[in-house]
Amino acid sequence: MTIDVYTSKGTKDGTANLPKTLFEANINEGLMHQAVVRAQSNVRNTVAHAKSRGEIQGSTRKLFQQKGTGRARRGSVRSPVLRGGNKAFGPQKIANFVKDMPQKMRRAALFSALSYQAKNGAIIGLKDYPEAIKTKDARTMLEKMPVDIGRKILIVTPGRHDELSLSVRNIPGVRTVMAQYLNPMDILGSRHIIFMVDALKKAEEVFGKEAKEAKESKEAKVSSASSESSVSSASSRKKSSTSSK
């Protein structure tokens, strides 16, 4: 699979090949959804908090005696059934929304997301980027590329690139990420993904070995399952022939 490569001036300058191990993986929508939900849960802040009965301001004095008045029993003015009392079973800051996911599943979700975006034609390449560039020039470059300004655009760099990050941070919807920190939430949440040519090499260097191992293990499982099914079918045929005799 190939993508179009553009220069920093916004002009087309050939094509680049996408690594098959990363961009031609099996697309698993359920796994991608699970990875995105996990990422969103892990950045969630526990800000919702309702005061408990012990945190509400007020006296702990018993309002009236327990028996003999004919009224419903009352303990204190901080009871949740009274005006000004605490909220019964309200949200607490101790809630933990962190979700875990095995590394193999995270990697499979990443390769699935990359393959999904590549299949939909959302990925293009960037050949070079000047060391010093203004935000105005960066916007002009993006306007000349086949991307929609105003939609979410993700630029993948091979490493830390302060000049690029500073020049695009004031453009709405545009953000940068280093290749080694790619994740399904950023990839699937972007309308366009611009890979710097060196970032493709970096991504293959970081994730390529794991993707190749995952593909080989899957092929091995398929071959073992097919061999087992052939052996079982042969044994069943042998049993049927023996019983007929």
Q: Over range 6-25, report the average pLDDT.
A: 89
- 124 - beta bridge partners? 194
List, for residues 207-226, the tens digit of each pLDDT value: 887 766 766 666 666 666 66
Please tell me the predicted confidence (pLDDT) of residue 88. 92
Please tell me the predicted confidence (pLDDT) of residue 238. 66
Superfamily of domain 2-37+102-203: Ribosomal protein L4/L1 (3.40.1370.10)
On the question of pLDDT at 229 being above 80, the answer is: no
Please tell me the predicted confidence (pLDDT) of residue 208. 81
List, for residues 71-89, the tens digit of each pLDDT value: 999 999 999 999 999 999 9
On the question of pLDDT at 199 being above 70, the answer is: yes
Q: Over range 138-143, report the average pLDDT.
A: 90
Please tell me the predicted confidence (pLDDT) of residue 162. 85
Place of tokens 């290749």: 179
d(CA 9, CA 48) in angstroms, rounded, equals 48
| pLDDT grade for 239, boundaries at 50, 70 and 90 | low
More confident residue, 245 or 194: 194
Please tell me the predicted confidence (pLDDT) of residue 220. 64
Q: Cα angle at 87 between 85 and 89, to 5 degrees?
A: 140
DSSP characters over 6-46: E-TTS-EEEEEEPPHHHHSS---HHHHHHHHHHHHHHT---
Q: What is the pTM of this model?
A: 0.75
Q: What are the boundaries of each domain within the chain?
A: 2-37+102-203, 45-96
List, for residues 107-116, the tens digit of each pLDDT value: 999 999 999 9
